[in-house]
């Protein structure tokens, strides 16, 4: 007779089946989920404490109960089919409603596999209550349904994107704005209908959301509909859930009306500045010049008879001449005279005026890149440079300001305004900074871009890049 099989747990020694069964029962009895064992006929052989409490089963072996009795009557055929599939090894996991001791149905995930119990083949399984997950999924489905209903009624274009950048949903307004069908918008990359760097910026924000940032971002861009014609839009990007997975909502708002209003406001401001400049030049400056002339005349008459008074009049005359120079410089800034001279000449005069008025070295370097730019485009460029230079003078305390025009490739011009002042932290700049907003808007009217590079202690650089053509599409529409 062979040696008797060892039952202790030494290395390389096998345990008796009863010992293994006892260990499994001991392991799963305090388990918070319901653990069952059933034979291949579907009869229950064992249930842990959680299962006995949840389903009202007696202690010990739950005799007379079958596995399908743990499910609602209308689900028992399905439960038998799933049990048969588990026996055949065709599935090991499924979701189905179960029925508790009070007759209330609740959803469970069943994870099961074949094993042995009481010396025979059996199915060992765990019922995991997924009521909370089902409730959450239902809430998410309702939320997505509400989202779709809200989006379809929106006057703005709305798109849902996966965190990989795929299009999950697009409302009717977005299809109208892009002049594309639902199939086309899903197949086309963002860059097919967002101009410039807007598509890349959206992808950057999506990557931030994918890394877990609860992000809300707004920026302006240009939309390119199928068939041509640009539309200025504002993009809003936010994190959402779609089909139970993290996703991104992209809201696209047509701001053509806003751009048109901005253009009208800028024209009105320019007109008022020119009126004020003419009034300063033709009115205030002439009066100061007249007062200076009278002062000089009186000084000459009193030079011999009353030298003390004459000296006072001479001092007054010097103050009046200084005031006259300041007023004329101010008037020239408001009246750049772009209709009468080349843009480069006007920028030369601006640099000279800044040097003279503020004692800052200001130079303009170019090689004819701005030749031929006239009218509104020349005005936009001039006022961008003027705003950047005055910002540097007012806030940067620079010793030197350098203005330079050059070629940027692909028929574009790059204009750079750089100073050696104290600089600033762009992140600390007020979001509503009017000067920067107006400069950015003027750059967009040129079909160009504006880039600001600044840091505390190392000066500021403003770069405006725009097409060398005479008129932009945006200006033609205003």
Q: At a CB cut-off of 8 Å and minimum separation 6, what does 54 contact?
A: 34, 100, 101
> Same domain, yes or no, for 225 and 140?
yes
Please count the residues of the chain. Answer: 478
Same domain, yes or no, for 242 and 291? Answer: no
- Residue-number span of the structural domain to which 377 is assigned: 341-478
Q: Are residues 198 and 223 in the same domain?
A: yes
State the total domains in the chain: 4
Who has greater pLDDT, 264 or 350? 350
Is 143 or 81 the better-scoring residue by pLDDT?
81
Which of 295, 319, 335 terminates a domain? The answer is 335
Q: What is the pLDDT of residue 417?
A: 94
Is the pLDDT reported for residue 56 higher than 60? yes
Q: What is the pLDDT of residues 121-160, one digit of tens each?
A: 999 999 999 888 777 777 766 776 777 777 788 889 998 8
Q: How far apart are CA 341 and CA 349, in angstroms?
A: 11
For residue 437, the domain's CATH number is 3.30.565.10
* Chain segment 265-313, per-residue pLDDT in tens: 777 777 777 677 667 766 787 778 778 878 888 888 888 888 888 888 8
Q: Which residues contact 245 (CB under 8 A, 6 or more apart)?
A: 162, 163
Q: Is the pLDDT of residue 200 over 90?
A: no
The C-alpha atoms of residue 214 and residue 76 are separated, in whole angstroms, by 45
| 215: pLDDT strictly greater than 80 | no
pLDDT score at 263: 72
Do both 402 and 311 map to the same domain? no
Q: Does 252 have pLDDT greater than 70?
A: yes
pLDDT value of residue 332: 65
* Residue 155 domain-assigned (yes or no): yes
Look at 275-279, 427-431, 455-459 and tell me which has the smallest mean pLDDT: 427-431
pLDDT confidence tier of residue 94, bands split at 50, 70 and 90: confident
Instruction: Mean pLDDT check: name the lowest of 7-21, 114-128, 145-159, 195-209.
Output: 7-21
Specify whether 155 is located in the same domain as 184: yes
* % residues pLDDT > 90 (the chain): 17
Query: pLDDT tier at 364 (50, 70, 90 boundaries)?
Result: very high
Assess if residue 279 is contained within a domain. Answer: yes
Whether residue 138 sits in one domain with residue 96 = no
Q: Tell me the average pLDDT across 351-357.
A: 85
Note the pLDDT of residue 445.
82
Residue 13: its pLDDT value, please? Answer: 53
> Are 30 and 156 in the same domain?
no
3-state secondary structure at position 297: helix
Please check whether residues 181 and 243 belong to one and the same domain: yes
Sheet with 245-254, side-by-side order of all strands: 167-170, 157-162, 245-254, 231-242, 216-223
Q: Kindly state whether residues 78 and 146 are assigned to the same domain.
A: no
The per-residue pLDDT of the chain, averaged, comes to 81
Q: Give 47's contacts (C-beta < 8 A, 6+ positions apart).
A: 34, 35, 36, 37, 55, 57, 62
- The pLDDT value given to residue 326: 78
348 & 431 share domain: yes
pLDDT over threshold 50, residue 473: no
What is the DSSP code string of 219-245? EEEEE--TTS--EEEEEEEEEEEETTE
Q: How confident is the model at residue 8, as a pLDDT? A: 47
- What is the Cα–Cα distance from 51 to 58, expressed in whole angstroms? 10
Higher pLDDT, 59 or 121: 121
The dihedrals phi and psi of 179, each to the nearest 5 degrees, come to 60, 40
Is there a contact between 276 and 283 (Cβ–Cβ < 8 Å)? no
Last residue of a domain, one of 315, 335, 355: 335
Residue 478: pLDDT band by 50, 70, 90 thresholds? low
Specify if 3 maps to a domain. no
pLDDT on residue 100: 92
> How much is the pLDDT for 271?
73
Decide: 209 and 246 in contact? Cβ < 8 Å: yes
Strand order in the sheet with 400-409: 361-365, 400-409, 412-419, 460-467, 449-454
User: Would you state the pLDDT for residue 17?
Assistant: 65
**CATH number for the domain that contains residue 77:** 3.30.450.20
CB 175 within 8 A of CB 184: no
Last residue of a domain, one of 129, 156, 173: 129
pLDDT of residue 298: 87
Highest mean pLDDT among 14-28, 76-90, 144-158, 327-341: 76-90
What proportion of the chain, given as a percentage, has pLDDT over 70? 86
> What is residue 461's predicted lDDT score, i.e. its pLDDT?
92
Calpha distance 126→95 (Å, rounded): 12
The residue among 204, 157, 152, 201 whose CA lies nearest residue 179 is 157
Give the C-alpha separation, 147 to 136, whole Å. Answer: 16
Provide the 10 A C-beta neighbour count for residue 97: 17
Is 200 found in the same domain as 316? no
What pLDDT does 62 receive? Answer: 75
pLDDT grade for 206, boundaries at 50, 70 and 90: confident
């Amino acid at each position: 007779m062979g040696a008797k099989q060892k039952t202790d747990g030494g290395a390389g020694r096998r345990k008796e089946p009863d010992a293994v069964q006892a260990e499994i029962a001991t392991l799963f009895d305090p388990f918070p989920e319901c653990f069952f064992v059933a034979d291949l006929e579907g009869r229950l052989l064992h249930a842990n404490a959680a299962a006995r409490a949840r389903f009202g089963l007696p202690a010990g072996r739950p005799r007379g109960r079958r596995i399908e009795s743990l499910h609602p009557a209308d689900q028992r055929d399905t439960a038998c089919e799933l049990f048969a599939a588990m026996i055949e090894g065709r599935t090991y996991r499924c979701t189905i409603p179960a029925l508790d001791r009070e007759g209330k149905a609740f959803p469970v995930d069943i994870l099961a596999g074949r094993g042995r119990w009481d010396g025979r083949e059996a199915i060992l399984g765990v019922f995991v209550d997924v009521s909370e997950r089902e409730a959450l999924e239902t809430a998410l489905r309702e939320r997505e349904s509400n989202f779709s209903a809200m989006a379809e009624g929106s006057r703005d274009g709305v798109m849902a994107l996966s965190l990989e950048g795929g299009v999950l949903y697009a409302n009717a307004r977005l299809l109208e704005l892009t002049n594309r069908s639902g199939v086309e918008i899903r197949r086309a990359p963002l860059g097919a209908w967002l101009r410039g760097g807007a598509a890349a910026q959206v992808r950057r924000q999506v990557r931030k959301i994918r890394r877990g940032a609860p992000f809300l971002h707004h920026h302006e861009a240009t939309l390119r509909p199928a068939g041509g014609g640009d539309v200025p839009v504002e993009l809003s990007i936010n994190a959402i859930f779609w089909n139970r997975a993290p996703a991104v909502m992209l809201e696209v708002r047509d701001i053509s009306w806003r751009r048109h209003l901005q253009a009208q406001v800028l024209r009105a401001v320019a007109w008022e500045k020119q009126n004020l400049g003419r009034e300063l030049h033709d009115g205030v400056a002439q009066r100061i010049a007249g007062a200076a002339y009278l002062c000089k005349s009186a000084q000459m008459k009193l030079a011999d008879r009353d030298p003390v008074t004459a000296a006072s009049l001479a001092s007054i005359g010097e103050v009046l001449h200084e005031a006259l120079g300041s007023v004329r410089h101010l008037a020239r800034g408001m009246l750049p005279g772009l209709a009468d001279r080349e843009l480069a000449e006007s920028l030369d005069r601006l640099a000279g005026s800044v040097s003279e008025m503020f004692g800052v070295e200001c130079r303009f370097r170019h090689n004819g890149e701005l030749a031929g730019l006239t009218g509104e485009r020349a005005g936009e460029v001039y006022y961008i440079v003027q705003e950047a230079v005055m910002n540097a003078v007012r806030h940067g305390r620079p010793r030197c300001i350098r203005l330079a025009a050059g070629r940027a490739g692909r028929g574009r011009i790059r204009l750079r305004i750089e100073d050696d002042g104290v600089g600033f932290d762009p992140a600390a700049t007020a979001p509503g900074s009017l000067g920067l907003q107006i400069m950015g808007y003027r750059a967009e009217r040129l079909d160009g871009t504006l880039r600001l590079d600044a840091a505390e202690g190392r000066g500021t650089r403003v770069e405006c890049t725009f097409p060398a053509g005479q008129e932009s599409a945006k200006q033609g529409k205003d």
